[in-house]
Structure 1
Amino acid sequence: MSNEYYLKNPLIHRDRRLGRRHIAWVNQFDCTHMRPLIICRGPIRKEAMDVFEEMGITGYGILLSEKDSIVYQDALAPELRTLNEPDRVHRVPDYTGANKEERDQRIAQIIGIAKDNGYNSIFAGYGFMAEDETMVAAMEKAGLNFIGPCSRTVHDAGLKDEAKRTALKAGVSVTPGIDNGTALTLLKKHPDVAALKALVAERGLAVETAALDDDSIELADKADLVLAASYDKGIDLYTVDELCETLTGAVQKMAEDYPKNRVRLKAISGGGGKGQRILGIGEAHRTPEMVREILNEVKTTGVGDNKNVLVELNIETTRHQEIQAIGNGVWSMSMGGRDCSLQMHEQKLLEVSVTVESLQAAIEQAEAAGQAEEADVLRQDLQTLQEMEDEAARFGEAVGLDSVSTFECIVDRDKHFFMEMNTRIQVEHRVTELCYALEFTNPDAPEESFVVESLVELMVLLAAHGEKLPRPRRILRHNDSVEARLNATNQALQPSAGGVIEYWSDAVDGEIRDDQGISMHNPDTDVFMKYTLAGAYDSNIALLLTVGDSRLDTYERMAEVIRQTTMRGKDLATNLEFHYGLVNWFIGQNINARPTTRFIVPYLTAVGELKQKANDLDLAYAWQQICQVTLAAEQQAEPMGALKHALERKQTLLLRPLETLFREPHILAGWLSVNRDSYTVIDGKVSWNENPLELLADTYHFLNMDFVPGAPAASMIWDHDHEILQQALDFYNELNNRLQAGDWIELQSMLDEAAAPAGMEDTLWASIRGAHRGFQAGMDVLAVLPSIAEATGFFDLTVNSDLTIHIPERLLDEPLQEAMAKVLVPPPVAKSDEILAESGGMFYGRETPEHDAYVSKGDHFNAGDPLYIVEVMKMFNKVYAPFSGTIEEVLVDTDGVIISKGQPIFRITPDEKIVVESPEEVAARRRQATDQFLAALV
């Protein structure tokens, strides 16, 4: 291939490295002198290793935490298998440290490793260390090139309080609230400049007197200068109790000003869902409790830690959107947006690109279809995107952005508010880079240029050559992309640690799979290496991405990727089924729907209702009853023996896919969503708009159970069932060709007539009608699926004409939400005198180390009282009492120990006797519910 090809496609081929180009202007941006030390883990580490290799950077090294040793049994982590030099792997206790002292130790250790091994740069990926101002400054001071924003940018843009102040100065709209709770707390004790000067002198703080005397600086900003000096010295000037008092007052004031909104508390150093809590209406009194939880979660409880927590208005109808911002310290620009509204507990689940090109195409399509209201909404989205992109670029210039960062906003219909800037690459960065590439052109010779398609490569280029890089031009690659985060969570999306991935199917055409190398096979044996999902890390396993010419195209490709993905393992729980259901819900509803950040929990509740109804039904009993009704109805028309034989042959053909859908409520939700138009309810009964046999064949495909010769019987339609189904499909295909019916309803009407159509003999027609009755016999059982949806009101959760989502009031009821979460994931079966751990993780029996235990022996507790905290996959989850009772014995009394799901935590005496149904009572109840259900079905 020509040299020009490599210049235009710098991430296409491993040999197209900057160092091998032959144009002087391009050669000056060579990066082969870089020797980075990678100090992060997960998919971004593997991605960085691949990109470095492609750039010709071969002298990189990686950190390896001791905690990594538990994820592979008797094997190296996959990414380590590609490193043939063991001295490039450097072992550390963990990547970040649990507190300030440990963080400082780790920073010093990283610098020491870099100096001792000849590394000249640091790559921190998207871990929390990536936007730790102290760490970045320490790297810079040590003479190391940090591949990411400089410490000044991290300070001005990364700390949430500083960022909001900068945004206001740059004319960027921000969320109402306070960002200086610590300063206000300090001013309560030292209320003027004189008092601050006295404090500085008393504590020996490094604060310039001139700054305190400067009348142009606000008093609160002067208090911040004093606080910054105290953090540098490692001392506290306020207590957590004093801070909580200030923040409680701020929450109360916001509640008065915005009585219909909840309030969000957010640590300035939080991110990725950590360090945030939402206070409900009337819950200002819970502020101290929530603040302590936040500080514990982000590990800023030590002496000298900056404990500032923002108080913000929670925009209830918010959509979470973000703009990819880049800069070199001189210029700053944006690279389109991403919608990250599909999240739960501040953890993103499905992220989709938002581009000018995609929105323009969607507007044209809506106008052509006569959907004026939808087109208006899309036009407003386009305007909002362009405004956010403009603000992101201006904010980037204001903070001297010299790398890659993310400008995060919340969008409320036609309004948007700046939330924060994450001064690091994001987990979802590939959503952007799959839509846009960047072309750098010689200002003096336009024919000389090169293209960058990777944001990691861009970060290296900016770190290595910074201000020499001209402002690039963004080039469209794809209109749309979407990313599904494959996480180790159960069906209620709760973290589920400890499972083992024993098999993972290979990536399929159209799938972009980013993991840390888990999918790699052993290079010697070509077998999959088992991987343990350790609770020491967050729940993410991999990032699944697809691209397309439209959002619908992109989602359909994602659905196809997930359909063909198979994962198996011991105690393995993932959200793969959830994603399959969710993606198909949007395909079946409206792909341009505008969900808010509050959508997922009501959606999960609706799925839980499907599962609850399915649990109430006895499918095998339903089949027996339907067969009896069918035989009774057809006894005059068919030989009973032949019809009975036909039904017997069909039992597994029909029940196997139904059993799967009953067992997997998320997949059932997806099936119902894409098949909503396949039926109509007439007088309470399901009437099919398409041939149920064709729907059955589609269902086998939807469940990835297509017939594949030689495949395991457990994962495909059985060969004799496939034969029956294929005979039926061939029959109706031939019949359609002969009768040329317009649709299934017309064909049914023709078959209902005893008289043969013109041109067909009576005996042949009678034979056809008999075959038709035989093929359709027993198909009534399929109606249980839409009937479950109708019974639960599943389709009440729908997309409005203005693209908002109508959420029925019942799905917003918190007790129902909690109940349906337990339906999706039933708690461990406990004896009446025990409380068991609902998940594995690290146990804490108190709010903070300074607090008393939540409960002790002899204590009485009420339903809803906190009992303990479990930290699982980096998230702190407070566990509340499901009923009231008395603690008879504390079985786990040591903080920081690992507990497992189902482990007894307390021995208790409940206030009320717990009644448990016997198996016989459960069976009788299910049959009674099934009889009632069938009465309206057949």
Structure 2
Amino acid sequence: MAHTLGSYTKNPLIHRDRRLGTSTSKWVASFSCEDLKPLIVCRGPIRKEAMDVYAEMGITHFGILLSEKDSIVYPNALAPELRTLTDSRRVHRVPDYTGASKEERVERIHQIISIAIDNGYDSIFAGYGFMAEDDEFVAAIEKAGLKFIGPCSATQSGAGKKDEAKRTALSVNVSVTPGIDNVTARTLVKKHPTREKLLALATSDGLKCDPAVLGDTKLSLEELADHILYASYERGVDLFSIEELCAQVQAECEAMFKKYPNSRVRLKAIGGGGGKGQRLLGAGLLHAKNADEALIKKEASEAPGLVREILNEVKANGIGDNKNVLVELNIEQTRHNEIQLLGNGQWCIALGGRDCSLQMHEQKLLEVSVTQEGLMTEIERARAAGKDAEVKALESDLKVLKRMEEESERFGKAVGLDSASTFECIVDRDRHYFMEVNTRIQVEHRVTELCYVLKFVNPDDANDFFVVESLVEAMALLARHKERLPRPERIVRFNASVEARLNATDASLSPHAGGMIRYWSKPIDGEIRDDQGISMVNPDTGLFVKYRVAGAYDSNIALLLTKGEDRRDSYERMSDVIQSAVIRGTDLATNLEFHYGLVNWFLGRNVMAKPTTRFVVPYLTLVGLLKDTANKIDPVYAFLQMKKHYTKLIGDAYADQPEVAAKEVKNMSTLLDRKGTLITRPIERLLNDPHLLSGWLSMNIKNFRLEENGKVVWLRNPVGVLAETYDYLHMNFRPHKPAAEMIWNHDNELLQQALRFSRTIREHFGLARDEYHTLTGILANEEPQGGFDAAMWQQIRSAHFGYEAGLELLGILFQVGFHTKFWDLKVEEDLEITIPEYLTDADLQARMKKVLVPPPATKADEIVAVCGGMYYGQEAPGMPPFVTEGMHFEKGQPLYIIEVMKMFNKVYAPFSGTIDKIIMTSGDGTIVSKGQPLFKVTPDEVFVEVDTAALEKEKRTVTSKYLQAVLYEPVAAAPPAAKKAKPAAESLGAAAV
């Protein structure tokens, strides 16, 4: 649900009515947009946001498109915005939003324009959908006499296409990534290598070229070829085949590999966005000691297949489509930073940056603000703490940010930017390279809105102004009053903000479509949730309305945002938001737990760390290793073995007093049984979810140390750690929660008693929380300490022992971290992140992905769909099938493609074998479900049945090994070892319980 952000601001200036027409100032009122009549042609959270903003601006005549996929094809995926938009005359139905082919896209453009004209709309808003940066669409809108609420067609053409944008950047001295932006022109020159042949081609094909360009002998062959190609796009003809283009890309890749040894190459469609139309090749060269000619040719030979995938994915493989592909050096240690821009064609203003490096498969996951004010705050804090390396790193970031902002404004002016756009860069330490411009509003635009607002001041009166806090509102203002709007001032709202994308993905971040959301908890204070209105209840019943997460669109379910005085503050609030979120459903999987673990990883290390775009996959691999190890631990078995350990300790302590020993053993057993669920429930929860365990291990890194013999030594009282663990897992006591989701009453009573006791005794001795080791040293004394008499001292020691007994079991979690080398993935003093080399191993990454999400159950003679989605048995239309009946396939060979959430995922054979029968006979474009049989096969090797008894034996062996490293001999603090003490359990009962 979209929110008016005024209530979240610390600046009293920014709390106002969006309806400028109601202002008493004639100048302000003149910027009213109440007469604007927009048609919203996008979907998702941005559609709901636009509806809310327009209503708040006083715009009453607006409508939306509704596709069949939103209302018919996928039951229960009906646009939830319709619960508030009850006037059916403002809802206009189309088969889909963009069309599946070039012909359908053109048809849809005409249909949308007709809908707008026939229903009295004067403008069109396309949000951050792909139509938003389609220059042909925008040009058609302008030609029809309508306004486009976004950059004009000239800006779209000059900045929206990646090749044109790169050329513009070079012309205005903007740093760009090394590479080639005209491979189609080179392909054409390769086929027609002289000026005469190119001119003859233009004539023979009847292309409408500019005679002045054709006659300009100063133009290079490639520049001439480019002009002829653009004429061919207008005519709708191809001047070369896809095979010829693929061959040229392969040759360019070979040249790039030779020029930049041990580097990969990135292929990018000039259109696309959101990660679509991009592929990497050259992985075998990254660490190759001898990148010889044969290896280079082998790696480059992958290019043709990748080019076809790219063109297919962005639907640019039709006759007459612009098939240009950028061939760029892949900057390996790169951060993805972007600058928010706004302009009116004459002025352009940068609104700070966003770091979007935390991404996977080119899909952004967590985005954080990067502003000059925020960085300066962090620099002063680091300087005050004496962190010189951190200060230097942050100062470098500040310099890069200032350069990017300056270059982005220069670029914006060069292309006549007249709305909102985003200037995207890759940052490599103290250098940056321009990557592309998204000529539309971004999914993560609210990250900027939470940091800055815009103050528009009357040029004739400095006291006459209005404030805009929404980029959607600013775009509407620009569409209605473009040239009249003066260049605004940017005003700080908050120093930091962060956005987490809640996606329909499983624990390995693979797409998981088709689930049904049946319940979603309400947003907590300070949470900004953009979810398309999914969590909006039924206005008549007040009940949640179930919602199907369809695979027709991208994987995003919602955008969760928080803000703060600094980045840590915003991260802590995000942790609270995710911790409190409860979302339930059928066959539903989200990345909520991933985000919780990731946010707390940074909170436990350093929120100012500089992750690169390579961070998430190694991190996910490490989380998989946690799961792989956690699967071998049985916490209940560990607890029972710990009871035996205490029984032996007490038996040894009272070896010469059998009756006392028997009684004390019984009492200790009773005591530990009382604590059994208190201790084991959170441990089981953490072992079952490695994402939660990752965050917990990071947050508790300072609460223990390991001795050389591997023994765990607690630096914080484990009672406090246990209480914080219940809070971290959102299992702390709250009367309204079901018992299954929170600490049980009797466990909570015992925990609160333990907390009160430990806090009281710690404060009595004037110790801080992290001086637990000092406290245990004091309690080790048999002689009374702290002014207590002998009897009370022994009761205190007994109570301490009783409350602490068994909590060392939490140390098993530290052992999991130790044995997986969890803390080797770390943030250095200069904020760079060290990624251990073993986490970059592709085979390990693939294995851990299967550990996080085991493949669907299958028979030994079947291959089943790895996930739900749309099935394709060939690379592209007209290409041969991947496999045929009777064909032998090798491990790692492509078998089929699954399209899910707008991404094409090629699936490779998990083993070698022979295709006996193709069960999937329905053909390409068929929807399949996870686990659905596709092929009957005969594997080359016989599968071995899993020996469950051996697995259970291994589990107990590993559990016992880890347990030995956490158990301690409580002789010093335990009264049973000092014969004069009262039995521990009796003392605990008398003194504490």
Structure 1 residue identity aligned to 2:927: I
- What secondary structure is seen at the aligned counterpart in 2 of 1:569? strand
- What secondary structure is seen at the aligned counterpart in 1 of 2:586? coil
Does structure 1 residue 923 correspond to structure 2 residue 952?
yes
- What secondary structure is seen at the aligned counterpart in 1 of 2:966? coil
Q: 1:100 aligns with which of 88, 99, 102?
A: 102
Using a 3 Å threshold, how does the CA distance of structure 1 residues 75 and 924 change in structure 2: closer, same or farther?
A: closer
Q: 1:796 aligns with which of 793, 805, 824?
A: 824
Contact 1:783 1:937 in 2 (8 A): yes
Residue aligning to 1:485:
501
Residue aligning to 1:342:
358
Deviation at 1:60, TM superposition (A): 0.4
Residue aligning to 1:278:
280
Structure 1 residue identity aligned to 2:686: L
- What secondary structure is seen at the aligned counterpart in 1 of 2:631? helix
Does structure 1 residue 231 correspond to structure 2 residue 257?
no
Deviation at 1:12, TM superposition (A): 4.1
Contact 1:520 1:528 in 2 (8 A): yes
Residue aligning to 2:515:
499
Q: 2:873 aligns with which of 833, 841, 845?
A: 845
Residue aligning to 2:848:
820
- What secondary structure is seen at the aligned counterpart in 2 of 1:153? helix
CA distance in 2, matches of 1:72, 1:870: 18
Structure 2 residue identity aligned to 1:641: K
Deviation at 1:739, TM superposition (A): 3.7
Q: CA deviation digits over 1:313-359, x for unaligned, max 9?
A: 00010111001111101111211111111111100001111100011
CA distance in 1, matches of 2:486, 2:687: 58
CA distance in 2, matches of 1:605, 1:75: 33
Residue aligning to 1:908:
937
Deviates more, 1:284-293 or 1:618-627: 618-627
Structure 1 residue identity aligned to 2:775: L
Q: Within 5 A, what are the aligned runs for 1:6-17? A: 12=15, 15-17=17-19
CA distance in 2, matches of 1:290, 1:74: 36
Q: CA deviation digits over 1:214-236, x for unaligned, max 9?
A: 23443322211211111111111
CA distance in 2, matches of 1:935, 1:550: 42
Structure 2 residue identity aligned to 1:218: S
Contact 1:71 1:532 in 2 (8 A): no
Residue aligning to 2:91:
89
Does structure 1 residue 731 correspond to structure 2 residue 747?
no
Structure 2 residue identity aligned to 1:229: A
Using a 3 Å threshold, how does the CA distance of structure 1 residues 304 and 813 change in structure 2: closer, same or farther?
A: same
Q: 1:711 aligns with which of 737, 745, 762?
A: 737
Residue aligning to 1:36:
38
CA distance in 2, matches of 1:209, 1:828: 62
Structure 1 residue identity aligned to 2:715: N
Q: Within 5 A, what are the aligned runs for 1:518-597? A: 518-597=534-613
Residue aligning to 2:117:
115
Residue aligning to 1:643:
668
Of all paired residues, the percent bearing the same amino acid is 59
Does structure 1 residue 210 correspond to structure 2 residue 212?
yes
Contact 1:245 1:288 in 2 (8 A): yes
- What secondary structure is seen at the aligned counterpart in 2 of 1:936? helix
Q: 1:383 aligns with which of 385, 399, 410?
A: 399
Q: 2:703 aligns with which of 644, 655, 678?
A: 678
Structure 1 residue identity aligned to 2:204: E
Q: CA deviation digits over 1:488-528, x for unaligned, max 9?
A: 11111111001111111111111111110011011111111
Using a 3 Å threshold, how does the CA distance of structure 1 residues 75 and 163 change in structure 2: closer, same or farther?
A: closer
CA distance in 1, matches of 2:520, 2:146: 39
Contact 2:809 2:963 in 1 (8 A): no
Contact 2:712 2:965 in 1 (8 A): no
CA distance in 1, matches of 2:593, 2:928: 27
Q: CA deviation digits over 1:743-802, x for unaligned, max 9?
A: 211211122222222532222222222222221221121111111000110000001111
Residue aligning to 2:718:
692
Deviation at 1:692, TM superposition (A): 0.7
Does structure 1 residue 656 correspond to structure 2 residue 685?
no
Using a 3 Å threshold, how does the CA distance of structure 1 residues 366 and 734 change in structure 2: closer, same or farther?
A: closer
Residue aligning to 2:267:
265
Q: 1:304 aligns with which of 292, 313, 320?
A: 320
CA distance in 2, matches of 1:567, 1:812: 33
CA distance in 2, matches of 1:215, 1:380: 46
Deviation at 1:74, TM superposition (A): 6.1
Deviation at 1:926, TM superposition (A): 1.3
Segments ≥4 residues shifted beyond 6 Å: 8-11
Contact 1:10 1:450 in 2 (8 A): no
Using the size of structure 2 for normalisation, the TM-score is 0.92
Residue aligning to 1:665:
690
Contact 1:434 1:481 in 2 (8 A): yes
CA distance in 1, matches of 2:777, 2:527: 44
CA distance in 1, matches of 2:358, 2:170: 28
Residue aligning to 2:640:
624
Q: CA deviation digits over 1:139-168, x for unaligned, max 9?
A: 111111000001110010000000010000
Deviates more, 1:259-268 or 1:758-767: 758-767
Task: For structure 1, list consecutive stretches of 5 or more residues without a partner in the other structure.
Answer: 1-5
Deviation at 1:711, TM superposition (A): 1.8
- What secondary structure is seen at the aligned counterpart in 2 of 1:621? helix
Q: CA deviation digits over 1:165-223, x for unaligned, max 9?
A: 00000110111111011111111222233222211221111112221112344332221
Using a 3 Å threshold, how does the CA distance of structure 1 residues 476 and 738 change in structure 2: closer, same or farther?
A: closer
Using a 3 Å threshold, how does the CA distance of structure 1 residues 632 and 369 change in structure 2: closer, same or farther?
A: same
Contact 1:34 1:464 in 2 (8 A): yes
Structure 2 residue identity aligned to 1:211: V
CA distance in 2, matches of 1:664, 1:101: 47
- What secondary structure is seen at the aligned counterpart in 2 of 1:774? helix
Deviation at 1:916, TM superposition (A): 2.2
Residue aligning to 2:371:
355
Q: CA deviation digits over 1:42-65, x for unaligned, max 9?
A: 000000001000111111000001
- What secondary structure is seen at the aligned counterpart in 2 of 1:676? coil
CA distance in 2, matches of 1:206, 1:234: 12
CA distance in 2, matches of 1:745, 1:852: 69
Q: 2:802 aligns with which of 757, 762, 774?
A: 774
Q: CA deviation digits over 1:835-855, x for unaligned, max 9?
A: 111111000011011111101
Q: 1:19 aligns with which of 18, 21, 25?
A: 21
Contact 2:214 2:224 in 1 (8 A): yes
Q: CA deviation digits over 1:910-933, x for unaligned, max 9?
A: 111111213333222212222233
Q: 1:514 aligns with which of 500, 522, 530?
A: 530
Contact 2:98 2:131 in 1 (8 A): yes
Structure 1 residue identity aligned to 2:801: R
Deviation at 1:75, TM superposition (A): 8.4
CA distance in 2, matches of 1:848, 1:265: 18
Deviation at 1:480, TM superposition (A): 0.7
Q: Within 5 A, what are the aligned runs for 1:279-428? A: 279-280=281-282, 281=285, 282=296, 283-428=299-444
Contact 1:672 1:789 in 2 (8 A): yes
Structure 2 residue identity aligned to 1:872: V
Q: CA deviation digits over 1:547-590, x for unaligned, max 9?
A: 11111111111111111111111111111111111111111111
CA distance in 2, matches of 1:553, 1:169: 41
CA distance in 1, matches of 2:224, 2:118: 41
Deviates more, 1:252-261 or 1:73-82: 73-82
Structure 2 residue identity aligned to 1:691: N
- What secondary structure is seen at the aligned counterpart in 1 of 2:490? strand
CA distance in 1, matches of 2:851, 2:750: 36
Contact 2:74 2:550 in 1 (8 A): no
